[in-house]
Structure 1
Amino acid sequence: MGQLNRVDADRLRAWLPEVRSAEATAALMIAVAYDRGIGTRELASWYDRSDEWVEETIEALDSPGFVSTVARLEGVDIEAVAAESNLAPETVRDWFDDLDDEPVDEAADVVRRYAEGSVEPVRSGSPSTVYHLDYDAATERGWSTEDDDLFAKAADADLDLPEYGRFLVEPGESILEAAERGGRSWPYACRGGACSNCAVVVVEGDVAMPGQSILTDEQIREADARLSCVGVPITDEVKLVTGVGDADDFADLRLPSPADDAGASD
């Protein structure tokens, strides 16, 4: 019986040929040796590391979701990745750790691309289900985006399109693109993250938003606002309120939309 409690040492061994940095190699080898019964003080001496570094590294790797530790040791700047996609660092760490469910070579390839400076948005590798509820439909019924049972109430109210529904977002699609593919007509203007026309509020799940340049940190962090034109789901399910671009908090950030132009020419 090995000394690691939560991770399979064979899984750590499988990562060894996949990593490139000396720090990641040393960390994995230390954890494997520890599992074989070598003490932390002896390992610290062997690898010229402090006792504290060895103990903290073993603890970080001895987890079912240890990929974020490997990513950090490989040189991935998790805070920078989070800032690029307008996410909390904790969300990005969880996303890397979820890669532990993937084959080692595929998970390692993702880590390698981020370590090499990839700026592609954090996203899941599988489709995400998006549930949507129209803001006006919610407020007319006295519901709030802060209601814990908001989407349960929407389902019980027997609402239908365009007020309420769901669709799949495929990897590589924005939420707006998937909505339009499903026949929905959502507000938009720039399609590049530079206005609030397509703004939504995320009630459950999380959405990366690379490339946006208009929403404030307060709107993103406190109001959970996202722009659907550049929004990419990173959880299996996302529940969001649409049509909030006309609300007071976002009205000053709007641009004239193609629909406005079409109406003016009729």
Structure 2
Amino acid sequence: MGQLEQVDADRLRAWLPEVRSAETTAALMIAVAYDRGIGTAELASWYGRSEEWIVETIEALDSPGFASTVARLEGVDIEAVADESNLAPATVRGWFDALDGEPVAEAADVVRRYAEGSVEPVRTGSPSTVYHLDRGALTERGWSIDDEDLFEKASEADLDLPEYGRFLVEPGESILEAAERGGRSWPYACRGGACSNCAVTVVEGDVAMPGQSVLSDEQIREANARLSCVGVPITDEVKLVTGVGDTDAFADLRLPSPADDAGASD
């Protein structure tokens, strides 16, 4: 029986040929040696580290979701990735921790890309299901965006496209692109994260926005606003309210849409 309590030492060994940093290699080897019964004081002597560092490293790796520790040791700046994707650092750490459920080679490839400077959302190639509800339909029925059972109400009501529906977002697609592929006509203008025409509110799940440049931290963190033109789901399911770009809160960020221009030329 090994000394590690939450992680399989064989899983740690499987990461050894995949990592590039000497620091990561040492950390993994220390955890494996500890599992075999080597004491922390002896490991500190072997590796020329303080016993405190040895203990902290073992504790960080002795977790079912230790991939964020491996990512950090490999040089991934989790705070920078969170900033680039307009997400909380805790969400990004959760991304990396979830990689522990993936094959080691695939998980290591994701870590490697981030260590090399990628800012794309952490995904391993699986689609996400997006449920959408129109703000006008919500208001008309007297519902609130804060209702815990909002989407249960919508699914039980006599609602259909374009007011309510769902679709898949494939890897590499934005939410707007997937909506259009599914025959939906959502508002947009710039298609590059520089206006609020395509804004939505995330009710459940999470969406990264690499490249957005107009929403404030308050709009993102407190109002859960996202831009669907650059929004990429990073959870298996996302529930969102559409049409919020027309509200007063986003008035200063809207741009003339292509549909407005087409109507003016008729």
> Considering the TM-score relative to the shorter chain, is it more than 0.5?
yes
Aligned counterpart, 1:258: 258
Distance in 2 between residues matched to 1:261 and 1:30, nearest whole Å? 64
TM-score by length of 1: 0.98
Distance in 2 between residues matched to 1:10 and 1:145, nearest whole Å? 46
TM-score by length of 2: 0.98
Asked if structure 1 preserves the Cα contact closer than 8 Å seen for 2:134 and 2:164, the reply is yes
Give the CA RMSD over aligned residues: 0.9
Asked if structure 2 preserves the Cα contact closer than 8 Å seen for 1:134 and 1:243, the reply is yes
Task: Quote the offset at 1:158 in angstroms.
Answer: 2.5
Distance in 2 between residues matched to 1:182 and 1:252, nearest whole Å? 30
Which is further off, 135-144 or 182-191? 135-144
- Which residue identity lines up with residue 101 of structure 1 in the other structure? G
Aligned counterpart, 2:3: 3
Deviations 1:61-119 (A, max 9, x none): 11111100000001000000010110111111111111111111111111111111122
- Which residue identity lines up with residue 214 of structure 1 in the other structure? V
Distance in 2 between residues matched to 1:238 and 1:158, nearest whole Å? 21
Distance in 2 between residues matched to 1:224 and 1:112, nearest whole Å? 30
Query: Is 1:59 matched with 2:63?
Result: no
Counterpart secondary structure, 2:253: coil
- Which residue identity lines up with residue 30 of structure 2 in the other structure? I
Aligned counterpart, 1:243: 243
Asked if structure 1 preserves the Cα contact closer than 8 Å seen for 2:189 and 2:258, the reply is yes
Cα distance 1:124–1:241, how it changes in 2: closer, same or farther (>3 A)? farther
Asked if structure 2 preserves the Cα contact closer than 8 Å seen for 1:122 and 1:208, the reply is no
Asked if structure 2 preserves the Cα contact closer than 8 Å seen for 1:207 and 1:231, the reply is yes
Deviations 1:189-245 (A, max 9, x none): 000000000000000000000000000000000000000000000000000000000
Cα distance 1:124–1:186, how it changes in 2: closer, same or farther (>3 A)? farther
Aligned counterpart, 1:141: 141
Aligned counterpart, 1:103: 103
Aligned counterpart, 2:24: 24
Identity in percent: 88
Aligned counterpart, 2:127: 127
Asked if structure 2 preserves the Cα contact closer than 8 Å seen for 1:81 and 1:119, the reply is yes
Asked if structure 1 preserves the Cα contact closer than 8 Å seen for 2:121 and 2:234, the reply is no
Q: 5 Å matches for 1:1-266?
A: 1-266=1-266
Distance in 1 between residues matched to 2:8 and 2:94, nearest whole Å? 19
Aligned length: 266
Deviations 1:33-57 (A, max 9, x none): 0100111111111111112211111
Asked if structure 2 preserves the Cα contact closer than 8 Å seen for 1:85 and 1:211, the reply is yes
Counterpart secondary structure, 2:214: coil
Distance in 2 between residues matched to 1:124 and 1:252, nearest whole Å? 37
Which is further off, 93-102 or 199-208? 93-102
Counterpart secondary structure, 1:252: helix
Unaligned runs of 5+ in 2: none
Runs of 4+ in 1 over 4 A off after TM superposition: none
Asked if structure 2 preserves the Cα contact closer than 8 Å seen for 1:121 and 1:210, the reply is yes
